[in-house]
Each structure stands twice: as C-alpha cells, then as structure tokens.
Amino acid sequence: MNKPNIFKLATKELSQDGFFTWLLQWADSGHNKHDKALNETAKDFVKLLLGQTDDYQINKVEAGRQWNNIDIWVEVNDEYFIGIEDKTNTGEHSEQLIRYKEYATNHYKDKSHKLVFVYLKTGNESLSTLNKIKEKGYSVIDRKSVLQVLNQRPVSNEIFNDFKDYLTEIENQTNLYDKLENITSIWRASEGFYTKLQENITEWSDWRYVANQMGGFLGFWYHWTGTDEIGEIYIQIENAFEYGIKLVIKIADWEQNTNTLYRVLNEIKLKAEKNGLSITKPDRYRAGGTSTLAIVQNAFQSDSNGKFDFSAFLTTLKQLEKTLDEYTNEKNTAGNN
C-alpha cells in the first residue's frame, strides 16, 4: 500500500505555488545550516529557472506568492527578478502573461535587476501552445526538467519527497502510451501519445480536449489541405476513451451538404486504397461546421501483448497525408484548367 501523499489531495495550482515558493526560499544560503541537501537542490532549481550554469553562485534569495497576480516572484542576489506563471493542467488565458510581464518591467524600470519570466508547467500541454508561450518572452520549464533537479541528490525532507513522488507518478503515467489499452484508458498516457506524435511530425499540429454531446474526446489535428470547391480537409485523432479511438478525415469551411460527403469519400477512397489504406464513412453523416468525412480502418495496431506499434501508426499517417495531398492537388489542378 502506498503511503498517503498530501499533493494527491492538494492538487490545486495554489498548492503547487506554495511548494515551489517554499523550495525557492530554501535556496538562500542562510538555510544551508538547516538542511544542506535541500538548500543545494533549491539552488539548482533557481539555476534552472535562470538558465544559469552550475558554477553560478547563489547567496541571497527572496520569494513570495501572488504579487499583482503573478503566481510566484523571486529575487536572486539583488541581481535577478524571476516572474513565474505556475501551471498544472490548465493553460494561459486572457493574455495574462503579457500583462504580468508589462507590470514587472514597469516596476523594475529604475532598478538594476535583470528580468526573467518563466512558464512552469508540471502537467502536459501541446507543444504548439508552449511555442506560443515562448514567443511572449517566457522560458518554458517542464516537468522533466524539474524532476531532473529534484533527483539530483537524496533529500530527507518529507514535503520535498512527497512532491517529487507526486510528479514522478504523473511522469510515469504520461509515458504509458506504449500500450494501446493505456492510451484509451489513462488520460495522461493519451497526452503522452499526442506529445510523442508532435515530436515526430514536422508540420504544425495541436491537441486538446473537445467537448461535445457524446461526452467529449481528447483530439489531435494537423495537415490542413483542401480545395476552393470543397473547403478544408485535415487529419484528426479522436480519443473518446471508453468509446474508443479513431483516426479520421475532417472537412471544414464547406457547403454543408451530405451529398458532398458521399461524393468526396468515393473520390478519396480510390487514392487511399492505392496508398495502402482502407477508409469508410462514419455510422451517420452529419453536415455541420466541421464534419467527419471518413474513418481510417485498423489505424491503431498492437501485438499479442498489447504493445502499441507507434512506428506503424506513423506510417499510416504518412499514407494518409499522401492520399489527401494527391486528392487536393488533382482537384486544384483540374479547377485551374
């Protein structure tokens, strides 16, 4: 039986804010005499936030919470100010990062501090949204980076180890996408699968939860193409967990007519077969703003032990990309003649 862990109960971002602020306060050299290992690890965490090298000397650290809505603020050696936006499973909203940066910049305009802004994310988030965070002048510190610091040396503090164990469990669950059963039953494993896909797909992609009347799904989409005549066509994965996972072709920005769906399906089907794919219509066609045009059959393969064949799935995606490109290129060429 696992021992009780306070962070499994106190899962709100405010609880995480409290832990990280507590850890940062431990980085002040005056606390070395109380717990040397915790002090050294806290200093390593400050260096991670600053992007500093191991030989950077940290002496004075002050840290607190909720300064003008900035989750965590830190001053280091009277040289640096760090503004931290701390996130668990939520993302940025309402351009909050720009506002926080502007406020801090204005506050420190007459001081000598170098300003550093950090988006600290312990949950999982689409790489495309994280790239947008970076464009706003924030460095992104993820769970893996934090765990590397927390695992630097043995620390005997119970609060510290509870949080480290909590993050380790999230990391382990996220990496369970090696089995298809896990992808369709464990939310974090599905997020890990999508993150792995983004690392292997060179073009822009995105993923997030999509709510609908059927209970919603965790969706992944990429590879937009299309024609002036038909509209946009793109690739989407829909993981509805207990209701299964599907690889589908979607259509959007189109004249909403089911006759179009039948016609386009029949036209694409031949090219899909030539590229080694079998596609079928969904159980029922619904003409909406975005509609499912086709479902790719047998897209998610696993062996007798349930191990998901990630490489085979990437091959299927390439075949699907080629199919859609050939179809839209043909249609666009015909339309220009």
The model's pLDDT over 62-113, given as tens digits with 9 standing for 90+, comes to 999 989 889 999 999 999 999 999 999 887 776 889 999 999 999 999 899 9
- The position carrying tokens 């949204």 is 129
Q: How confident is the model at residue 188 (pLDDT cuts 50, 70, 90)?
A: very high
> Do the bridges between strand 114-121 and strand 80-87 make them parallel or antiparallel, or are there none, so unpaired?
parallel
Cα separation of 51 and 140, whole Å? 11
Q: What is the pLDDT of residue 231?
A: 92
- The answer to whether residues 153 and 41 touch, using CB atoms and an 8 Å cutoff, is yes
Q: What is the pLDDT of residue 11?
A: 75
Token couple for 91: 């993302």
- The answer to whether residues 168 and 147 touch, using CB atoms and an 8 Å cutoff, is yes
- The answer to whether residues 130 and 144 touch, using CB atoms and an 8 Å cutoff, is no
Token couple for 246: 């599907």
The model's pLDDT over 18-62, given as tens digits with 9 standing for 90+, comes to 999 999 999 999 999 999 999 999 999 999 999 999 999 999 999
DSSP label of 88: S
pTM score of the predicted model? 0.92
Number of H helices, E strands in the chain: 11, 11
Q: How confident is the model at residue 146 (pLDDT cuts 50, 70, 90)?
A: very high
Q: What is the pLDDT of residue 263?
A: 94
- Per cent of the chain over pLDDT 70 is 99
87 SS3 class: strand
Listed by start position, the domains of the chain span 6-174, 180-336
Phi/psi of residue 220, each to 5°?
-135, 135
- Per cent of the chain over pLDDT 90 is 85
Q: What is the pLDDT of residue 4?
A: 84
- Angle value at C-alpha 119, between 167 and 175, nearest 5 degrees: 35
> Do the bridges between strand 231-239 and strand 245-252 make them parallel or antiparallel, or are there none, so unpaired?
antiparallel
Q: List the one residue out of 324, 231, 225 whose CA is nearest residue 277.
A: 324
Q: How confident is the model at residue 179 (pLDDT cuts 50, 70, 90)?
A: very high
Q: What is the pLDDT of residue 214?
A: 80
Cα separation of 283 and 301, whole Å? 22
DSSP label of 51: T
Q: List the one residue out of 276, 201, 270, 212 whose CA is nearest residue 234.
A: 201
Q: How far is CA 166 from the centre of its chain?
A: 18
The model's pLDDT over 282-327, given as tens digits with 9 standing for 90+, comes to 999 999 999 999 999 999 999 989 999 999 999 999 999 999 999 9
Contacts of 203 (CB under 8 A, 6+ apart): 222, 223
DSSP string covering 113-163: PEEEEEEEE-S---HHHHHHHHHTT-EEEEHHHHHHHHTSS----HHHHHH
Q: What is the pLDDT of residue 94?
A: 64
Q: List the one residue out of 267, 295, 266 whose CA is nearest residue 283.
A: 295
**For residue 119, is pLDDT > 80?**
yes
Q: What is the pLDDT of residue 336?
A: 65
- Cα dihedral 23, 24, 26, 32 sign: positive
The model's pLDDT over 216-263, given as tens digits with 9 standing for 90+, comes to 999 999 999 998 888 999 999 999 998 999 999 999 999 999 999 999
- The answer to whether residues 59 and 29 touch, using CB atoms and an 8 Å cutoff, is yes
